[in-house]
Amino acid sequence: MPATRATRSSLQRRLVRQIIESSRDHPTALAVFERAREKMPSISLGTVYRNVQLLVDQGLLLERKIGKKPARYETRRQRHYHICCLECGALEDLAVPYQEALDRRVERLMRYRLEEHRMEFYGVCPRCQAKPGRGPRPTA
């Protein structure tokens, strides 16, 4: 018996979510599509985009948009910070503990009830620094 559209969609959605959950590189939708095609050659890029957006809308995935680079995705985990390469757009988790004391300080100062704060660092990753023809870092 052939799979119905809803069944296919559920299988495709599960695959998309599984790929993002198992990734540590915060993949773009295009990267998710390329990985999904290895397991499900019939999946389309549009299907991946629709399912990623649905999972974001449902709160199961987080979308990280840095400047004009393509959005990157991750699953909800413990609170953490990111570091982003300004050249290639790589986005990585930063091994710096989440500063809950900063939330409390801002709550006291502004009388908001905070849910979280986000902090992102920007620079040039080691791979981009090693590219031929890259000049020395400018000094201040």
**Residue range 46-105, pLDDT digits in tens:** 999 999 999 999 999 999 987 788 999 999 778 899 999 988 888 999 989 999 999 999
Instruction: Give the integer Cα–Cα distance in Å for 81 and 79.
Output: 7
Average pLDDT for 7-28: 89
Domains of the chain (ranges; CATH) run: 1-76 (1.10.10.10), 78-140 (3.30.1490.190)
Q: What is the pTM of this model?
A: 0.74
- Among the listed residues 89, 64, 59, the one whose alpha carbon sits nearest the alpha carbon of residue 74: 64
